[in-house]
Amino acid sequence: MSASPFVTPSECRAAFDAVLARAPRELRLYDRDLDLWRLDDATRHAALRALCVAGGGRRIECLLDDTTHVARTLPRLMQLIRDFSHVLVVRQVDPHAPRPDHACVLANRHDVVFRADKNAPQGALHLDDPARAIALHQAFEALWQRAQAPLSATTLGL
């Protein structure tokens, strides 16, 4: 239940990778956008794909302040969205709702990557910290329910 702080973008991504490796059922991500996470990296893409392929009620939810760059800069992620739209969903925060200053990655209601300032890579990895994870899940869920329609992987939104 101890925190493992990180400072650099690469340490932040390593914390994300640790949580992703421990996420057998659910992964939720809230951030400004997906630039920091480099989800099109081959290893990360393979891990996300494995989570999608595994089935069994698995779910990946990405909630972003801005989704505009996703389609332009993350072709592998867009392919996953197209192939696994029942598992992987990307939404944009309601533009009229207040947006938290923090960013987080949540897995299985136990593991958290938390950055107090979503504009900076500094933060901490919290493994097996259900108290912190549950509070962040509740905040995420409130934003998720008010979020705009999911990002579509097809031109027509079909």
- Are the CB atoms for 31 and 136 separated by under 8 Å? no
| DSSP 3-state of 70 | helix
pLDDT by residue (tens digit) across 23-54? 778 999 999 999 999 999 999 999 999 999 99
CA 48 – CA 87 distance, rounded (Å): 10
Q: Say which DSSP state 25 is in.
A: S
CA triplet 28, 62, 18: central angle to 5 degrees?
A: 45
Instruction: Give me the helices (H) in the chain, please.
Output: 9-21, 42-53, 68-73, 75-83, 130-146
CA 13 – CA 144 distance, rounded (Å): 23
pLDDT at 143: 95
Beta bridge partners of 4: 125
Domain 3-146: which topology? Answer: Endonuclease; Chain A (3.30.870)
- Are the CB atoms for 93 and 62 separated by under 8 Å? no
**Going by C-beta distance under 8 Å and a sequence separation of 6 or more, which residues neighbour residue 33?**
64, 65, 66, 67, 69, 70
pLDDT at 71: 87
Block means of pLDDT (10 residues each) for the chain, 158 residues, are 91 96 90 96 95 91 94 94 95 92 94 97 96 94 92 63
pLDDT at 155: 55
Instruction: Give me the helices (H) in 3-129, please.
Output: 9-21, 42-53, 68-73, 75-83
